[in-house]
C-alpha cells in the first residue's frame, strides 16, 4: 500500500485495472502550473491541485541543484516538478552510478522520463523522497507513520498517484513501449518504497515485475544473449535480477529468476577484458551464493544436521562455480587494476570485497554455533573489514542510495560472525560512519542489530555492567577495550532516539534499551529477513 492506502500492485499487463480520472500534464490549467496551490487531499488518485514544496531544513537543499532539466519534454511541468526532476537528473542518477556504470541510469531512465509522463512522475516522486531522506541524514528505514505536514512527501505521494493513473489508462494499449514503461515505473516504485521504509510494498512491487520478466523469459538474455529482437531493455532486466538476488535475504523466498540456474554460454570464461564483462559474469555467481547463504543464516544446528544431505551438495556446487569465477577475476584484478579509471578501481574493489565475503559466508553459513570452527576465519573477516575501510576512503562523496550490493552485507557478516570483538566493533563503526542504503540493505539497521549483539556478548563475557565507566584513572582506555566499546554502544543507543524518532514505533523504546527487538515486526515480512534470523540465532 502507498501512503494514501492505494494498492500499487498493478503489474500483470493483462490485469483489469481500475480507470481513474487524470489530467494529462499538458492539459493542466496553466494557472496551476505557474502558481501552485495547496494540497490537502488524502487520496493521491483524485483530481487535485499541485503540491507546493516547502523549504527542507538541512541536507541537500533543492536550490543547490541546477534547475536545468534540458529539452525534449512534451508536456508542461510545474515549478516543483522541474526542481525535483533537476535533483533527480543531477544528483539521484549520479548517486546510482557511484558503484558501477549502468546504461539504465546513464541512458534509459533519463530518456524515458523525458518521453513518457508516467516514468517522469515516478522519477520525480523518487527524487522527492530521496531529498527528504538525505535532509534527515538517511535515518533508519523502519516502517514509520506518515508525516501529514511533510509537503515534500505529500508531493511524492501525489506524483506516484499521477504515474499510477497514467499506467492504468494505458493497460489495454498495444503500444510496444508499454512493457518497458510499466517495468521502469515498477522499478522506480520499488526504490521509492525502499527509501520510504515500506519493505512489504517494495517487495510486492518487485515480485510483480519479476513475474512479468519470468513470463517473457527476458531473464535468459542476461546469461545467453541471442540475436532476436529484445522486448525488454537488457539493462532493465539486469536491474530487476540484481534486486531479485538481494531480496533473497528479505523473506520472500527469492531469488525468483535464479539466473545462476539458466543455461549459460557453453564456452567457459577464461578472461575479462573490462569491468562490464566482469560485472556481468559476477551476477550469476552472486545469485548462486546468496541463494544458498540466505536460507542458511540463522538455521539451528539441529536443522542443519537434519538437512545436511541436501545442503552439502548444493554448497559444493555453489563453491565450484564461485571458485572458477574468482580464479579468472583475480587475474583481471591483478593485471588490469592499474589501467582502470579511479571509479572503475572502486568497482573492482567492490567485487573483490564481495568475493572475500562470499568465500567466508559460503563456508561458514552451515557451521551454526561452532565457535571453534568460526575462529579459523578471524583473519579473513578482518581482511574484509580492512578492504571495506579502504573502499570508503576512495569515495570523495559517499552515495546515500544505490541499487548495487556494496559494503553493507560483508560488514554485517564480519560484525556478527567474528569471534574477535575488536573486528566486530570496527565493522560496526564503519556501518555507522556511512548511513546509506544498498537496495533493500540499510546500514543503520544492520549496525543496530550487530551493536546489540556485541553489547550482549561484552556483558556476558567480560564481567561488565551497563554502568561501567570506560576510563581508569586520568587516562582513557584503549578505544577497543570492552569497557570503552560498551560505553560507546550505550551512547549510540541513547542518541538514536533523538536522531531517528519519527513516531511511536521508536518513541516508545526505553532510552537505556534501544533494542532492535522494538522494531522487529514493523514490516510483515521482517521476521523472515536473514539478518533477523541470524540476530536471533546468535543472540539466543
Instruction: Give 70-108 pLDDT, tens digit per residue.
Output: 556 788 899 999 999 999 999 999 999 999 999 999 999
Return the closest-CA partner of residue 148 out of 496, 502, 499.
502
- For residue 19, pLDDT beyond 50: no
Per-residue pLDDT tens over the stretch 298-351: 898 899 999 999 999 999 999 999 999 999 999 999 999 999 999 999 999 999
- For residue 400, pLDDT beyond 90: yes
The verdict on residue 16 lying in a domain is no
Per-residue pLDDT tens over the stretch 31-52: 322 222 222 223 333 334 444 5
Q: Where is the domain boundary, 197, 226, 250? A: 197
Both 172 and 270 in a single domain? no
**Window from 56-70, 131-145, 454-468 with minimum mean pLDDT:** 56-70
**Window from 139-143, 453-457, 468-472 with minimum mean pLDDT:** 468-472
Both 154 and 51 in a single domain? yes
Both 310 and 410 in a single domain? yes
* 255 cis-preceded (ω within 30 degrees of 0): yes
The verdict on residue 474 lying in a domain is yes
Domain that holds residue 392: 260-539
* Crossing angle of the two packed helices 117-135 and 151-169, in degrees rounded to 10: 160
- Position 62 scores a pLDDT of 43
Both 135 and 279 in a single domain? no
Q: Where is the domain boundary, 167, 197, 227? A: 197
The verdict on residue 288 lying in a domain is yes
Residue with cell 517495468: 183
Q: Tell me the pTM.
A: 0.83
The verdict on residue 185 lying in a domain is no
- For residue 407, pLDDT beyond 80: yes
The verdict on residue 220 lying in a domain is no
- Position 252 scores a pLDDT of 81
Cell matching residue 150: 511533510
The verdict on residue 47 lying in a domain is yes
Q: Residue 175 — very low, low, confident or very high, per pLDDT cuts 50/70/90?
A: confident
Q: Residue 488 — very low, low, confident or very high, per pLDDT cuts 50/70/90?
A: confident
Q: Are 205 and 9 in contact (CB under 8 A)?
A: yes
Both 151 and 269 in a single domain? no
Both 398 and 497 in a single domain? yes
Both 371 and 492 in a single domain? yes
**66 or 452, higher pLDDT:** 452
The verdict on residue 472 lying in a domain is yes
Both 279 and 166 in a single domain? no
Cell matching residue 383: 581482511
Q: Are 218 and 231 in contact (CB under 8 A)?
A: yes
In 10 A of CB 157, how many CB atoms?
27
Both 289 and 398 in a single domain? yes
In 10 A of CB 218, how many CB atoms?
22
Both 172 and 266 in a single domain? no
Number of domains in the chain: 2
Kind plus residue range of the DSSP H or E element containing 449: helix 443-461
Per-residue pLDDT averaged across 404-429, rounded?
96
Mean pLDDT of the chain: 81
Please give the angle made by the CA atoms of 200, 203 and 204, to the nearest 5 degrees. 85
The verdict on residue 432 lying in a domain is yes
Amino acid at each position: 500500500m502507498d501512503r494514501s492506502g492505494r494498492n500499487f500492485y498493478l503489474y500483470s499487463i493483462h490485469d483489469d485495472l481500475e480507470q481513474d480520472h487524470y489530467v494529462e500534464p499538458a492539459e493542466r490549467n496553466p494557472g496551476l502550473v505557474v502558481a501552485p496551490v495547496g494540497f490537502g487531499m488524502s487520496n493521491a488518485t483524485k483530481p487535485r491541485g499541485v503540491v507546493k514544496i516547502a523549504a527542507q531544513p538541512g541536507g541537500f537543499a533543492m536550490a543547490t541543484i541546477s534547475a536545468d532539466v534540458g529539452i525534449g519534454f512534451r508536456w508542461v511541468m510545474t515549478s516543483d516538478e522541474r526542481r525535483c526532476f533537476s535533483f533527480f537528473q543531477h544528483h539521484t542518477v549520479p548517486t546510482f552510478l557511484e558503484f558501477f556504470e549502468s546504461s539504465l541510469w546513464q541512458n534509459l531512465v533519463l530518456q524515458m522520463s523525458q518521453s513518457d509522463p508516467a516514468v517522469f512522475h515516478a522519477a520525480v516522486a523518487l527524487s522527492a523522497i530521496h531529498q527528504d531522506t538525505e535532509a534527515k541524514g538517511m535515518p533508519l528505514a523502519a516502517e514509520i507513520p506518515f508525516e501529514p505536514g511533510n509537503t515534500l512527501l505529500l508531493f511524492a505521494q501525489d506524483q506516484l498517484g499521477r504515474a499510477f493513473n497514467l499506467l492504468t489508462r494505458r493497460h489495454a494499449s498495444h503500444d510496444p513501449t508499454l512493457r518497458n514503461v510499466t517495468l521502469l515505473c515498477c522499478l522506480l516504485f520499488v526504490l521509492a518504497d525502499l527509501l520510504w521504509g515500506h519493505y512489504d510494498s517494495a517487495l510486492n512491487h518487485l515480485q510483480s515485475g519479476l513475474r512479468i520478466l519470468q513470463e517473457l523469459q527476458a531473464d535468459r538474455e542476461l546469461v545467453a544473449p541471442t540475436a532476436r529482437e529484445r522486448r525488454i531493455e537488457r539493462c532493465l532486466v539486469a536491474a530487476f535480477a540484481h534486486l531479485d538476488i538481494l531480496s533473497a535475504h528479505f523473506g520472500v523466498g527469492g531469488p525468483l529468476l535464479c539466473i545462476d540456474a539458466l543455461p549459460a554460454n557453453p564456452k567457459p570464461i577464461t578472461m575479462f577484458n573490462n569491468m562490464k564483462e566482469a560485472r556481468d559474469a559476477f551476477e550469476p555467481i552472486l545469485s548462486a551464493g546468496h541463494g544458498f547463504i540466505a536460507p542458511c543464516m540463522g538455521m539451528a544446528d539441529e536443522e542443519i544436521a537434519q538437512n545436511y544431505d541436501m545442503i552439502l551438495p548444493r554448497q559444493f556446487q555453489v563453491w565450484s562455480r564461485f571458485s572458477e569465477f574468482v580464479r579468472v577475476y583475480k587475474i583481471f584484478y591483478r593485471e588490469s587494476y592499474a589501467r582502470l579509471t579511479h571509479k572503475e578501481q572502486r568497482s573492482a574493489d567492490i567485487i573483490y570485497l564481495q568475493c572475500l565475503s562470499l568465500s567466508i559466508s559460503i563456508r561458514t553459513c552451515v557451521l551454526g554455533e561452532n565457535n571453534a570452527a568460526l575462529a579459523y576465519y578471524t583473519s579473513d573477516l578482518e581482511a574484509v573489514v580492512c578492504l571495506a575501510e579502504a573502499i570508503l576512503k576512495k569515495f570523495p562523496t559517499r552515495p546515500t542510495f544505490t541499487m548495487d550490493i556494496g559494503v553493507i552485507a560483508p560488514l554485517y557478516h564480519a560484525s556478527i560472525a567474528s569471534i574477535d570483538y575488536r573486528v566486530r566493533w570496527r565493522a560496526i563503526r564503519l556501518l555507522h560512519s556511512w548511513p546509506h542504503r544498498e537496495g533493500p540493505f540499510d546500514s543503520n539497521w544492520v549496525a543496530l542489530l550487530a551493536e546489540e549483539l556485541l553489547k550482549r556478548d561484552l556483558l556476558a563475557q567480560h564481567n561488565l555492567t551497563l554502568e561501567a565507566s570506560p576510563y581508569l584513572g586520568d587516562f582513557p582506555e584503549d578505544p577497543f577495550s570492552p569497557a570503552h566499546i560498551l560505553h560507546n554502544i550505550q551512547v549510540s543507543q541513547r542518541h538514536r532516539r533523538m536522531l531517528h524518532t519519527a513516531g511511536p514505533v521508536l518513541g516508545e523504546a526505553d532510552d537505556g534499551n534501544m533494542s532492535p527487538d522494538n522494531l522487529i515486526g514493523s514490516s510483515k515480512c521482517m521476521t523472515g529477513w536473514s539478518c533477523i534470523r541470524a540476530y536471533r540465532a546468535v543472540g539466543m
